[in-house]
Structure 1
């Protein structure tokens, strides 16, 4: 199960990096709902961190599209449309790369937490003997 969640978070990061916002939103919401409603046999802290990672990806991409819609309403004339399209491509992909970077650091944090929990599990039985 842990490997599957890490693969899903890697797919979310990859789609974010490619600028596929709607797919990233779908993966983020799907991953969040999976962690929320499916009983996962993992530590609660890990599930919480995975939920935060997935919902952060979805919300950040939704905010990016909200910014795009606001920017769309600022178009005054037909001459502004080419500038809007070019700036959208540059701006959108740069921000998607920043979202992917943030999600990557969050995934690394989940992995390090998992390693700490694994180390604590292996150390605690030896303390009881």
Structure 2
């Protein structure tokens, strides 16, 4: 098979991955981050793209993401609240983090925004955790 054609086909579906995070908003499953194994190495997947799987159509689409892009990570948790995907924690090349980032999934721009800690004590850096939304919070 022609290598240019293979590259084109590989962009039609999300790459296999581990350590990613995902949320559902309306009928779309959004997948971000994680890593994949290449030979004997684990390689982070691009941090400036998010994949959307249309649950009704059965098709993938990739969106490239500008803004305050989080570092490439695995083990990040996420939740969907009011049309926004929030990610927290994870592990990057420098270790675990306690950073929070947000992206609007409904405006079609997919622009990252870093959330700055304002009040109280921030949680400790961590990865491989979970989150949920309860009563809109």
Scaled by the length of structure 2, what TM-score is found?
Answer: 0.22
Instruction: Flag the structure with higher helix content.
Output: 1
Higher relative CO (CA 8 A, sep ≥ 6), structure 1 or 2? 1
Instruction: Flag the structure with higher strand content.
Output: 2
